Structure 1
Amino acid sequence: MLKRVFSYMKEYKKYAWLGLLCIGVEVILEITVPLLMADLIDYGVTNADETYIIKKGLQMALCAVLALILGVGSAKFSALAGQGLGANIRKAEYEKLQSYSFSNIDHFSVSSLVTRLTSDVTNIQNAVSTGMRPFGRSPVMLIFATSFAFRINSTLALVFLVALPTLAVLLILIIINVGPLYGRMQSAIDQVNRCIQENLTAIRVVKSYVRGDYEVEKFGVVNENLKSESEKAFGTAVLNMPAMQFVMYGTILGILLIGGKLINEGKMMIGQLTSFLSYVLLILNSLMMMSNVFLLMTRSLASAERIMEVIDEKIDITDENAKDIAVAKGEIEFDHVWFKYKDTAKEYVLSDVSFHIKPGQTVGIIGQTGSSKTTLVQLIPRLYDVTKGEVKIDGINVKEYPVRHLRDAVAMVLQKNTLFSGSLIDNLRWGNENATLDEIKEACQIACVDEFVERLADGYDTEMGQEGVNVSGGQKQRICIARAILKKPKVLILDDSTSAVDTATEAKIRSGLAEKLPDMTKIIIAQRISSVRHADQIIIMDRGHVEAIGTHESLLRDNQIYQEIYASQKEGADL
């Protein structure tokens, strides 16, 4: 897993190697200092040789200064490697998300995806930035310090044969237990992010229903859960320090007892014992650093698994069967189409749907809420793929078109209108980034955006704010329609996209589409019969299947569902 994660370091690998090189040389210099100190005590101090003391002292100072410089260098290179790795992983995740279909996105909650792009990546990059130093120092220091310790006194060094296995067992027990706890903690972060996201997205609803207290209480539950899971994870992780200190103090005590005895017997000098103790501390510190690295890696592994779930998600809508073709006319055919969101679902959302739309026709789709009207049209640009049957454009299965070309040829204005931060003209150019001002004005005239654009503070350069907070719902719908028209698609799908627009403006939009875009196939999903009564044909959906197809007049004469919808709306209008 970590090998795959580190494969994203790419161009930053040179910084990682430079960091490790600095760390290795720094450690060798640090390890040399106790040897110099032992000579200084045993030969310089003991013999009162001032020249020797100054010489060894300058050598120690030089080693310390060089170690300091290398330490700064290693910190810089580690930071560059860690931040670069994090940036590449985020980029890879985000690029993969862009290729997701709706069903792929449905596998994850939005809050979880946000956590995997932020908190989980941060865990990995911090593990590199802060963990590279102990990762590089620990093995080098352990090897050299241990060899020097045995060189000073092999009998005293045998204490490590008891201390090291004891510490290893304690650390393994801690790591085994803390690993799953880190995964649960990241899931708890997902829940907190989800609660915050829902509250901020629906803040107007929360305030209008005076549900602030309820939201605070709901957040308190997930926040307390995160606190609890974090306490369990970190509470287990911090046992690393007591375990380390237990072994460290036990080792030092054993060395002092045995070393004192050896000095009394004349088998060891005081300078050697002092030097030996320095190496003991270096060895134990290296083990402590190594244990911290293992803890960082354990947390990073939990985050890496979550990140790789996003990257390894199998894309279910691909160009696997695509040919080098493009939509020419916009003729649409549903041939015995069945659909369900999940293969394991018991019931189909769409059942045996068949109909044919000629190029340039205007088709209305109407039906009660939950009759799967939106699901139906989402199959045309392959936002979802059919479970059984075929959806064809110009007589060719949509799966044979390259997805990019298919979606360029099919413009869809969804039920939820989305505008992005930036100016009005920037939002309009989402439809066509190379659109001229004349083309933009023509699209705005068809969508009746021109009726209010001049009243905006800066006209087409007016900032929309986040999600278009500067315009009303009806204005937002018209901007989204203009944006879709700018794509110059072969098929235009309006999914209840004029619900917030008054009937007079809706009639103008419908008239503009018919007059200026006669060759474009238009599919209009609506709740109001007035929105579709002038269509060339009207499809009535009921519980996921086609109830009837016909004109306004024929359906009003022959279809009971259409008659009931018409009567209820006419009654409402009369009232």
Structure 2
Amino acid sequence: MLKLFRLLKPYRWLIAFVMALILLQSLSELYLPTLMADIVNIGIVERQGDTDYILKIGGFMLLVTLGGTVVSILASLYSSRIAAGFGRIVRAKIFNQVENYSLQEFDKVGTASLITRTTNDINQVQQVLVMMLRMMVMAPMMCIGGIIMAVSKDAKLSLVLVVAIPVLVLTIVAIAGKGIPLFKVIQKKLDKLNLVLRENLTGIRVIRSFNRMEHEKKRFVEANGDLTDTSIRVNQIMAALWPLMMLIMNFSSIAIIWFGGQRIGSGHMAVGDLMAFLQYAMQIMFSMLMLSMMFVMVPRASASAVRINEVLDLPPTLVDAPNARSGIATSGEVEFEDVTFSYPGAEQPALSGITFKARPGEVTAIIGGTGSGKSTLLNLIPRFYDAASGSVRIDGVDVRQRKQAELRAQIGLVPQRAVLFTGTIADNIRFGKEDATEEEIRHAADVAQATEFISGMAEGFESAIAQGGTNVSGGQKQRLSIARALVRRPDIYLFDDSFSALDFKTDAKLRAALKGETESSTVIIVAQRVSTVMDADQIIVLDEGRIVDVGTHQELLRASGVYREIVSSQLSEEEIA
């Protein structure tokens, strides 16, 4: 957690100011029992009820109390500002770090866990920071100051504290030692609960269509119950702290009054000093109580801080090379040379010995069975993953030697799963090109065969898209995703099974419109449908991560058994002929 607190550097002067305020608050609280002792010893006992003196000291006590209250309010205000600012800085750093992650880091950490770390974990640390700014400084001041003032009132009576304080400390340590490990477990179980909840919310259509509501409820109840049981167990352990501390404090009070009464009887102590000593003892005990509250909060925050640091310390595996080239003249030629790629932990490579070339002005189609590596191959071009061996080159330059921002600016990707963002239809198309004009947006929509359904919506291009695009159909999502890529006018178009939700008529119209739009660009299409790829300039047939055949539709019908099998499973003999 200390490592994370280095991010507090912009607030160092404000923290120093809060420390000064807390020092003043502590001094005011430590001074009050002495003033009360003066009222009793001098105003009541020595001067036999001197009202003027009592009112004078009483008024001074009131001023000290008001001053301490103002200082306390200011300390609370500024410590809250510091904690809120710290939370903003950490969230921004995590977001920026995650933005630079490759898909490999997302696979490693998990989306649900990243959400928990960015929200719940940061909130835990933020709450503890407020307490630390107040209690971690105030408690030692009150404890040390209280001991000094108590000893100044009566050194012998302070022996009661010599016994009580170690007992109190041992109690806190014993209980915290049992509770601390469980706080780390709680955060992991919270991750699990978030994972189940997120899957349930994002997959609600599938869950309902297969009548798996009861199964999902059971999963949620198990994860929720597991988290609840652990939380209850921790709270039961930590709940024992308060009554035990109150018991120790009450026994200490009894001992102070008992032995203090004897000291008064022997003339070694005044009544006011005993009253002040008792208050100082309570201040010492309550400072220990404040520290014990920190023991409740800090372990959980420490576990959260470790999880936050894991994200901040996890370097992106895909970064720009020190000698990365930029400003390269581009045409969009894509070349794979003996490329092999394996996912982390996989027993077999997802791709092996991939070699082909996709040229500008040509359409290269990739077809193959499920799990043959089609999407994986496409992900290597914008460098979402790096090849384990071999080379992926664009215009003769290895993608690993290019700046990622420039590389991806050259590519228009339409992913397999169409993703839309909250905002208007125009906003979603403009996502591909920030400064796109209204004319460019409409033209991209025309080519993507999206204008018809957009015109049918109440506000046209200004119609709102719900979160995740839930208010449009699958085919409409795909067409908007295609329009988003088209408005960019890139050198390379990557279509990852982007026509699967379209009917055959719309598919054919869209491909015909694309020909004129992409005639000078390199087009690579991953598809399951033979009708989508049969007009391509070259078709690459993948099987178990390897290229088994390359050629045109007619060439592959004659020479490729794998391709012929795919074709025959989709087209009739008349259509093949």
Give the TM-score of the pair, scaled to structure 1. 0.97
1:183 aligns with 184
The residue identity in structure 2 corresponding to 1:19 is V
Q: Does 1:297 align with 2:272?
A: no
Residues 136-183 of structure 1, C-alpha deviation per residue, up to 9 Å, x if partnerless?
Answer: 211111121111101010111122222222222222222332222111
1:13 and 1:81 in contact (8 A); partners too: no
1:305-338 C-alpha deviation (Å, 9 max, x unpaired):
0111111112100002412244601111111111
Aligned to 2:559: 558
Q: Which residue of 1 aligns with 2:283?
A: 282
The answer as to whether partners of 1:317 and 1:384 remain within 8 angstroms in 2 is: yes
Instruction: Tell me which moved more, 3-12 or 261-270.
Output: 3-12
Instruction: Name the counterpart of 1:460.
Output: 461
The residue that corresponds to 1:338 in the other structure is 340
Local SS of the residue matching 2:230? helix
Aligned ranges 1:11-30 → 2 under 5 Å? 11-30=10-29
The 2-side partners of 1:133 and 1:566 are apart by 73
SS of residue matched to 1:324: coil
Q: Please report how far the alpha carbon of residue 36 of structure 1 lies from its aligned counterpart in structure 2 after TM superposition.
A: 0.4
Give CA-to-partner distance per residue, 1:69-112, whole Å, 9 cap, x none. Answer: 11111111111111111111111111111001000100122111
Distance verdict in 2 for CA 1:572–1:302, change over 3 Å: farther
Counterpart check, 1:37 vs 2:36: yes
Per-residue deviation, 1:21: 1.9
Counterpart of 1:564 in structure 2: which amino acid? E
Partner of 1:372: 373
Q: For residue 100 of structure 2, what is the aligned residue in structure 1?
A: 99
Deviates most, 38-47 or 503-512: 503-512
3-state SS of 2:246 partner: helix
User: In the alignment, is the contact (CA less than 8 A) between 1:259 and 1:268 conserved in 2?
Assistant: yes
Q: Percent identity?
A: 35
Q: Is the 8 A contact 1:327 1:490 kept in 2?
A: no
Name stretches of at least 5 consecutive residues in structure 1 with no aligned partner: none
The TM-score normalised by the length of structure 2 is 0.96
Q: 1:218 to 1:327 in 2, by over 3 A?
A: farther
Equivalent-residue separation in structure 2 for 1:261 and 1:367 (angstroms): 95
Name the SS of the counterpart of 2:3 in structure 1: helix
Q: Is the CA contact (8 Å cut-off) linking 1:327 and 1:406 kept in structure 2? A: no
Q: Is the 8 A contact 1:357 1:363 kept in 2?
A: yes
Quick one: structure 1 residues 327 and 244, their matched pair in 2 at CA, closer, same or farther if it must change by over 3 Å? farther
Deviation at 1:20, TM superposition (A): 2.3
2:352 counterpart SS class? strand
Which residue in the other structure is 2:355 paired with?
354
Task: Tell me how far 1:572 sits from its aligned partner.
Answer: 9.7
Shift of 1:295: 2.6
Q: Aligned partner of 2:296: which letter?
A: L
- 1:16 & 1:229 partners in 2: Cα distance? 35
Pairing of 1:78-477 with structure 2 (within 5 A): 78-321=79-322, 322-326=324-328, 328-342=330-344, 344-477=345-478
* 2-structure distance, mates of 1:236, 1:573: 76
Partner amino acid, structure 1, of 2:333: E
Q: Give the alignment's Cα RMSD to 1 decimal.
A: 1.6
Residues 264-285 of structure 1: per-residue CA shift (max 9 Å, x gap)? 2111111111110010000100
SS of the equivalent of 2:464 reads: coil
Alignment partners' CA distance in 2, 1:50 and 1:63: 20
Contact 1:15 1:80 in 2 (8 A): no
Report the Cα distance in structure 2 between the residues aligned to 1:512 and 1:248, rounded to whole angstroms: 83
Distance apart, 1:513 and its partner CA: 1.8
Letter in 2 for 1:124: V
Which secondary structure state, in structure 2, belongs to the residue aligned with residue 154 of structure 1? coil
Q: How far off is 1:520 after superposition? A: 0.8
Tell me how far 1:521 sits from its aligned partner. Answer: 0.3
Q: 1:572 to 1:501 in 2, by over 3 A?
A: farther
Matched position secondary structure for 2:182? helix
Structure 1: distance between partners of 2:568 and 2:190? 51
- Distance, in Å, in 1 between the alignment partners of 2:213 and 2:130 is 40
Does structure 1 retain, via aligned residues, the 8 Å contact 2:326–2:406? no
Q: Tell me, in whole angstroms, the C-alpha distance in 2 between the residues paired with 1:320 and 1:158.
A: 68
Q: Write the letter of the residue equivalent to 2:412.
A: A
Contact 2:358 2:524 in 1 (8 A): no
SS in 1 for 2:366: strand
Unaligned runs of 5+ in 2: none
CA distance in 1, matches of 2:399, 2:240: 59
User: Deviation at 1:15?
Assistant: 3.6
Instruction: For residue 527 of structure 1, report the CA deviation from its aligned partner.
Output: 0.7
Structure-2 separation of matches of 1:67 and 1:573? 93
Q: Select between 529-538 and 74-83 the one with higher mean Cα deviation.
A: 74-83
- Summarize the alignment of residues 523-562 of structure 1 with structure 2, pairs less than 5 Å apart: 523-562=524-563
Return structure 1 stretches of 4+ with deviation > 4 angstroms: none
Aligned counterparts of 1:327 and 1:560: Cα–Cα separation in 2: 40
Contact 1:422 1:464 (8 Å CA) reproduced: yes
Distance in 1, matches of 2:252 and 2:349, equals: 69
Q: Is the 8 A contact 1:329 1:490 kept in 2?
A: yes
- Which range is displaced more, 249-258 or 460-469? 249-258
**1:561 CA displacement:** 0.8
Q: Given the superposition, is the C-alpha separation of residues 11 and 73 from structure 1 closer, same or farther in structure 2, using an over 3 Å criterion?
A: same
Q: Give the Cα separation in 2 of the matches to 1:572 and 1:30.
A: 95
Residues 366, 374 of structure 2: 8 Å contact kept: yes
Q: Distance in 2 between matches of 1:545 and 1:538?
A: 14
The residue type equivalent to 1:546 in the other structure is I
Is 1:498 the equivalent of 2:499? yes
> SS at the partner of 2:524?
strand
Shift of 1:208: 2.0
Distance 1:427 1:516 in 2: 20
Measure the CA separation in 1 of the matches of 2:73 and 2:329: 60
- String of CA shifts for 1:514-561, please: whole Å, max 9, x gaps: 112211100011111110111110000000111111111110011101
- In 2, distance between residues paired with 1:448 and 1:140? 72
